[in-house]
Structure 1
């Protein structure tokens, strides 16, 4: 069996993410671009919270949809911005934004813990089981924290075992390497490796794998 990330793995990643962002200086500029993205740090955290909520919503129905997303209404705050259902109230400031992230992560962890193993739900990159949605949630958390941490000048290097399980479950096309975190960043088009130029196109494989 493929060693898929577990709900405990995702809970750890979300906790580390929230703790890392909470350590940003009080005068940090959350309107700065998140790494190489066109979105701001604030927009990217909202996008991550929305991803976690959306993955939980895909798995939560008694009969998860297999050919589409659950039809929540999503909107863009600006042209080219994230297409979100979830928004943080700007009046609540950064603490409110992080609470929204924590809440969305908690919803995904809870749904992943209790979803039947035979549940299958739609994602554009494959019909996924609970382990697949957990792995996708984990990758979103790890790499978008990389983006935001770069924008805010914060340190961020998640545990290697989380990166290894994410790579094993979702990136069968990526050659194994001794450094899982740089390899995950390479797999998601964010960096080069000594023997590999940056990827200009990438995807993961969400389908169930034995």
Structure 2
């Protein structure tokens, strides 16, 4: 039988749930005193980066929430920074709850997006600055944010992090259709998001994804 020429399967809500759960399980191994370290190449510390990731997942869920989702703007929550140079979020974790509470905020925000992707009809469209998108597109964005920000966090926290290749392949196919297709999926996703060099491809200094539906 000849090898299949079919491309990666579409992203699903189950993929998003898997990505979030893998990230949370990895981050639970972090030393309790490490959360104020810088997160990889980011300017934020690790605590702020988890808040930012949680905020991304929450915001993507919120975009799909209204009966008539906005097509020209974000749902107008107030996004604000809690410190100089920190990310502007609508979601912030209570510092008194410690890292366990921080990761509970991440897990809950991810669950909101999983639920919205599962229950929102595929015909629905909602605004994103990188292109009006559909529920599968927002799932792919959530997975991408989770995988690459967990990479940033793992660098800062001293943890190992290599997500499943099939998840990376589906995200690349959905959001980065022009990315190299002959290189390993995880290094390619890091390259596509400006975090690494790739053989034959210099490290990107500017990058973006394409959230518009493929069909």
How does the TM-score come out when normalised to structure 2?
Answer: 0.94
Dislocated runs of 4+, deviation >4 Å: none
How many Å apart are 1:195 and its aligned residue? Answer: 1.2
What secondary structure sits across from 1:144 in the alignment? helix
Partner of 1:16: 22
Listed one character per residue, the Cα deviations across residues 114-141 of structure 1 (whole Å, up to 9, x for unaligned) are 0011000000000000010000000000
Does structure 2 retain, via aligned residues, the 8 Å contact 1:33–1:40? yes
How many Å apart are 1:77 and its aligned residue? Answer: 1.5
Does structure 1 retain, via aligned residues, the 8 Å contact 2:8–2:169? no
Partner of 2:198: 193
Partner of 2:159: 154
CA distance in 1, matches of 2:199, 2:117: 36
Partner of 1:6: 12
Listed one character per residue, the Cα deviations across residues 159-197 of structure 1 (whole Å, up to 9, x for unaligned) are 000000000000012121331000000000000012111
Partner of 2:173: 168
How many Å apart are 1:4 and its aligned residue? Answer: 2.8
CA distance in 1, matches of 2:209, 2:179: 10
Structure 2 counterparts to residues 106-121 of structure 1, below 5 A: 106-121=111-126
How does the TM-score come out when normalised to structure 1?
Answer: 0.97
CA distance in 2, matches of 1:189, 1:78: 25
Partner of 1:125: 130
What secondary structure sits across from 1:145 in the alignment? helix
What secondary structure sits across from 1:24 in the alignment? coil
Q: Name structure 2 gaps, 5 residues minimum.
A: 1-6
Say if 1:204 and 1:60 are closer, same or farther in 2 by CA, change over 3 A: same
Partner of 2:184: 179
Count of aligned positions: 209
1:91 to 73, 91, 96: 96
CA distance in 2, matches of 1:11, 1:60: 18
Listed one character per residue, the Cα deviations across residues 14-33 of structure 1 (whole Å, up to 9, x for unaligned) are 0000000001134x411110
What secondary structure sits across from 1:42 in the alignment? helix
How many Å apart are 1:81 and its aligned residue? Answer: 1.7
Partner of 2:4: none
CA distance in 2, matches of 1:19, 1:171: 27
Does structure 2 retain, via aligned residues, the 8 Å contact 1:46–1:88? yes
Q: Name structure 1 gaps, 5 residues minimum.
A: none
Structure 2 counterparts to residues 16-165 of structure 1, below 5 A: 16-26=22-32, 28-165=33-170
